[in-house]
Chains A and B, each alone.
Chain A
Amino acid sequence: MKTFLLLFVILFVAPWANGATDVCKSDIGSLPVLAGGRIKPLYVHANEFLKFVTNKTKYEGMSADTVYCYLSLGIAPDNKEIKLTSPVGHVKLKKFLSLDSNETIIPTDTLAAQDTGLRQEYQSETQKTPSDESYKTELGNTLSRLDLYASVKSGDDWKVATWEGAELKWVSIKQFTQSIGGASLDLKLQEAKDQFISKQTDHYLLEMFYAKAHLFSWAMLTTLLAMLAFFLLKTTTWGNVLTFTSLGIELAGITLRSMISGRAPITNMYETVMFSGFGALLLATIVSIVKKEKIYMWGGLGYNFLCLFMMMFANNMLDSSIAPLVPVLRDNFWLSTHVCSIMLSYGALALSWILANIMLVRMRFFTIYSKDVTYYTKVIHTCLKYGVVLLAAGIILGGIWADYSWGRFWGWDPKETWSLITLCVYMVILHGRYTSWISPQRFILVTAGAFMSVMMAWFGVNYILASGLHSYGFSSGGALFLGLFFAAQITVMAVCSWGIDQKKAAS
């Protein structure tokens, strides 16, 4: 009997007792949670939490969901308290926190201890005229980090699906732990998940797959390999295969994302970058097949790579999380037609931009035959034509949508105005080229420069105009990126146009 009891204890009680502490190491990533107005897997939410608070994806080798779980339950794993660190970037913030200027992180708990002081600093910065916008933004972000951190630590952030009869009710993990009494949290959580799946849906698990698959990282790799294959190998077979693989992976990613969110995947900056990269590569591949010209595909690969690179590394500017839409955008038909055609047009114009810049550099620093110039001018011209037609169509569709949902076709809203500016800029170039008013060299030069209007319409309206021009410091992510882009493009144009004139003079 004794042995039996002992066996019973070892078999059942022990895992139970451990269950309370080890729940965070079990499969909790697939639990449904309610966060930011959407139901997502805990894995995704925990990763977003860790990324936001610490700007890292892991903590001492621990996965994000484990960290999130320990913090929410207030457990110190192996009696070692979890000590997160938060990024501190702004010089003034470092000074305020009395940090050394070369330090870039601060323990989150230390930061949280200064919460009141930071809040006062934010208030006083807001009341200043003129206030330092970039410092204010940094303070605001830091406070948001602390809010989220505090909410997680208090056990309020983690919402568990429970049922009151047939009605779904989300309760905090704190309440949930209290309500289950002495029962195993692990088992109860799995039970809640099974119940949610059977009563509601397991649709949210798709996002877990999406998050874990890292499709866009794979797409970036294959795009890079495709470029290398085209560059290094004599046959184009491998390049073609890799390009199509990349297209396939991206298509899968976009499809998944659209299935998860239930809408066309073109509603924020991250998604537009994703879509325009994909669109440009697709368009380039089709054109290169139809015209039997590889050059389009190479341009498309280059641009696609740039887009994927931004998606991967420009986290400050492009938020990859899936969030609910504002009411006015909730119309899939208009959203998909209008934004798709604009994004495809930006993709096509980006192709012309890449090719034009390559040509500028080649014309300036390498010898190039006028036959080649004529040929590439034709290629760039083709890209422009597609881009302009798609842009015009996109603007008209946008006008019709605005008319349909706001009652006005055109309202001189900055986004509208900049898209029209872009269209006019390219119209001038096309007309100038059509009547041979602009020479091929000049055509390449202005095409390279004209893409700045696209960047302004695409990013500038959101990152420069909307944030208010008082923050001329260009210090926040998007504005800095744009400023650098304009500076680089103008430099390339200045250096290379000087070359064009010289060569003309020589010939």
Chain B
Amino acid sequence: MTPIKPLFDKIMRYVGGLKFAVVIIALFVIAMIAGTFIESFYGSEYAGRLLYKSTPFFILQALLLVSILFATILRFPPKERLYGFYIIHIGLMVIFTGAVITYVTGIDGQITLAPNDPTRRIVLPEDVLIVNNETLHKEAEIQLPYSLLPTVLNIKWRDVEVLDYLPFSKNAMTWTEAAPKDQGAYTSSSYELSGQNMVQTVTFSRHPNSEATNHQELGLLSMEYLPEDLAACFSGLNQSDLFFWDMNTTNCFTLKDPNVEIKFSKAGQRMAFVKYTGQPFIFLPDKSPFPLDKELKPLRSSTLRAFSSSLFSKSTILFIFGKQVAFYSKETKKWEIKTFENIGDVVALPWMGFKLKLLNHSTTQYPTTTPVAARPEKKDGEIVAGEQKALKVKINDTITWVRAGQEERIKSNDNFYTIALAKKTIELPFELTLQEFKMDTNPGTKTPASYESYVNLFDGAGNSTHHIFMNNPLKYNRLTFYQSSYFQDDNGQYGSVLSVNFDPGRPIKYLGSFLLVIGCILHYLIGLRRKSA
């Protein structure tokens, strides 16, 4: 007799024993309670990745299964009074087995049917990175892990390196170093605007690669971010109420310039005739900052603009030049220029106690939005941020962030790449076409009473029409199609979304459920008979 046998028996008695089972079930219960709260806070995807589909939770379920198995084996050879017990526990194990088979081999996807558009493509829940070298006509699909935390993948395919994977991210503003040739050419600044009950950060950039804009509106206040040199032109406004400026060169000149001639129309309108870089321009400066074209309409493409004090002194508009700001003060009836000497300085604005604080100012760096790891954020029961998936990809020297649902086009070493973070898809061996989507509403309301899809199925041999609605799925080729959702396309026509399901574990789970119920009944009957006996 080897010493393994008694040890094995000991383990079996322990694992099959009640204390072990209670501990495992208790852990299982605690995990599930935590899971429901996590889901309520961060959404189902986060809960799935953190808990329900995580390895520790699978291990917990496996231990539960082992505990049930050993508890059953320990009570062999069969005793008549335990027949119910056996069947209940076997039923549970069968359900588990079915669930595992479903998990491993099953398909749970979606098919989106636009009206009258034959479709074969099923979208699966798995995330993949699709890299396409368009120049060489090579494509690769890289499976992404079902992870919760940011993961460094370090996967290499040809010139493409897949670096960081953020399953949950949101976009944040970060300051990036400009290319050497652009250093000092463009200004970028961010400010904190505070007023009654509100504090908001606003970021501007004139760098062409930055996502930050030159113009922002906050309620009634609008802000224009202009080149630094123009501040000098604004300071001249109190002497001469009109100046002209070139958007490209940021040159500015006033009425005193010999190339400017002022005339008045019959209606008393001020007209300015300007000769600039050898070209004539006509302005109605008190009407519009743009010159007039031949048809006397504003020429919005012109880089030469007029700035008339009277046009802007009435509106709540703040002109920002990096370290200086200009605004029209109704109290002093003058244009005022304020300067931030240092970062952190505050300038009081003339509107309702608003204040502007300089947070950052740079000519060598510019703000860009980059994905940063985050947790999903919920507001009013819906996730509003933090559920974006993002991947950092390096092709030769170019580093790009790819966000889910967006396609990035990159040129590197004379090769064109398209990179997309998408859901994995598979093709059906047959074709579905949505003929009609019908949504009935409850009379007199807009609440839906039913969703129905009329679908044509073409399998190469022939056509057949099917009617899919709630609680009435289409079964075909071992696949089941359920009415899941709907959408409206640009023309206002309804499209339908079906969920597609292939589940080889289904009969096994049903068998297990059946055994469980039979076992319960048997257990009860045996108990009853023993009591009467």
Contacts and interface: CB of A to CB of B under 8 A. Distances in A.
Does A pair with B? Answer: yes
A412 B32 CA distance: 9
A52 B524 CA distance: 49
A466 B516 contact: no
Contacts of A417: 32, 35-36
Interface stretch (B149-157, B202-210, B318-326, B440-448): B440-448
Contacts of B473: 404-405, 407
A484 B19 CA distance: 33
A431 interface: yes
B259 to A, nearest CB: 50
Contacts of A39: 443
A467 B379 CA distance: 10
Contacts of A427: 25
Interface stretch (A9-17, A281-289, A324-332, A498-506): A324-332
Nearest to B85: A434
Contacts, number: 138
A36 B40 contact: no
A105 interface: no
A399 B513 contact: yes
Interface centre among A37, A170, A328, A427 (most CB of B within 10 A): A37
Nearest to B51: A412
A410 B100 CA distance: 12
Interface in A8-38: 34-38
B443 A34 contact: yes
B30 to A, nearest CB: 9
B155 to A, nearest CB: 30
B99 A421 contact: no
Contacts of B470: 327-328, 330-331, 405
A404 B473 CA distance: 8
Chain B, interface size category, equals: 35 or more
Contact of B18 (A385, A431, A466): A431
Contacts of B22: 428, 431-432, 437
A393 interface: yes
A427 B40 CA distance: 26
Interface in A401-415: 403-410, 412-414
Nearest to B446: A37
Contact of A468 (B18, B108, B381): B381
A432 B510 contact: no
Nearest to A405: B471
Contacts of A214: none
A467 B108 CA distance: 28
Contacts of A455: none
Contact of A34 (B41, B444, B510, B513): B444
Given A328-B471, A330-B450, A406-B499, A392 B520 contact: yes
A68 interface: no
A148 B108 CA distance: 43
B499 A37 contact: no
Nearest to A395: B513
Contact of B449 (A36, A324, A396): A324
Interface in B165-214: none
B450 A327 contact: yes
A324 B39 CA distance: 28
B443 A407 contact: no
Interface stretch (B1-9, B234-242, B501-509): B501-509
Interface in B125-142: none
Contact of B506 (A35, A126, A403): A403
B503 A412 contact: no
B47 interface: yes
Contacts of A38: 442-443
Contacts of B510: 400
A330 B18 contact: no
B482 interface: yes
A435 interface: yes
B32 A470 contact: no
Nearest to B473: A407
A389 B471 contact: no
A468 B378 contact: yes
Given A170-B444, A392-B520, A424 B29 contact: yes
B28 interface: yes
Contacts of A327: 448-451, 469-470
Contacts of B83: none
A418 B473 CA distance: 27
Contact of B36 (A36, A37, A414): A414
A396 B444 contact: no
Nearest to A133: B380
A135 B442 CA distance: 31
A465 interface: yes
Nearest to B53: A412
A76 B531 CA distance: 74
Interface string B427-446: 00000000000000111110
A403 to B, nearest CB: 7
Given A412-B48, A432-B22, A421 B32 contact: yes
24 contacts: A34-B443, A34-B444, A35-B444, A37-B447, A170-B444, A327-B449, A330-B470, A392-B516, A392-B520, A393-B517, A403-B503, A406-B482, A407-B482, A409-B102, A412-B47, A418-B36, A421-B32, A424-B28, A424-B29, A428-B22, A428-B25, A432-B18, A465-B40, A470-B378
| Ranked 3 nearest A-B pairs via Cβ | A37-B442, A407-B501, A37-B445
